[in-house]
Homo-oligomer: A and B are copies of this chain.
């Protein structure tokens, strides 16, 4: 039966979106491997065990690719050596400091190389409609060009698949609930402490998503103070 399914790799960080993408992909693809990256972001050690947990549950091979060069060469507050994670709303200027330049591009090209090595045509990533203008390598135009490049640059004609690209994060919560995802076993907080902080941009976004989806939020937060308002105008970021 599984021979009839299309072969795919799924990029899985251990965050709620990518875990839902793994469950979604399982419906329609033969998942040759879920790929996680070990790259010394502050929250990487919290994410990876959840990625492993769900792969084991779904009996999907889990491959962890070490990217040792980020900490030695890249500048970003997301990384262990990069300074503090700012609190506030995800769309604020301060969150720009958490961008790891070209991170998605690097992960997608490695994913495509691995897919070609393993005979899988499809590369699945959990990019969604709420992905942020502050992250240039989350933008639609970037993803389209990168998808073309991955296809043109592989014998297999790799295809980039984004099952959630038209969905908001709260819609992903709804879909994940239908698929049976245990969200208590997913990680968002960029600070990477023992508990979700409840205050950083990613925690704010996570809390909003459950509220908007009208789903119980099983996450244990260190702080559940009032959520910050969205900025009245979304800043435009450029060069």
A65 to B66, CA, bound (A): 13
What's the nearest-Cβ distance from chain B to residue A196, in Å?
27
Secondary structure at chain A's binding surface: helix, strand, loop or mixed? Answer: helix
Q: How many residues of A contact B (CB 8 A)?
A: 45
Residues from 124 to 155 in A contacting B, C-beta threshold 8 Å:
136-137, 139, 141-142, 145-146, 148-150, 152-155
- Tell yes or no: A92 within 8 A of B by CB: no
Interface string of A41-78 (1 = CB under 8 A from B): 00000000000000000000001011111000111000
- Tell yes or no: A218 within 8 A of B by CB: no
A/B interface sample: 20 pairs, CB < 8 A: A65-B73, A66-B68, A67-B69, A74-B114, A74-B117, A99-B155, A101-B112, A102-B116, A102-B150, A103-B113, A105-B150, A106-B109, A106-B113, A108-B109, A136-B153, A136-B155, A145-B146, A145-B149, A146-B153, A155-B238
Which residues on A are within 8 Å of B, measured CB to CB? 63, 65-69, 73-75, 99-106, 108-110, 112-117, 136-137, 139, 141-142, 145-146, 148-150, 152-157, 237-239
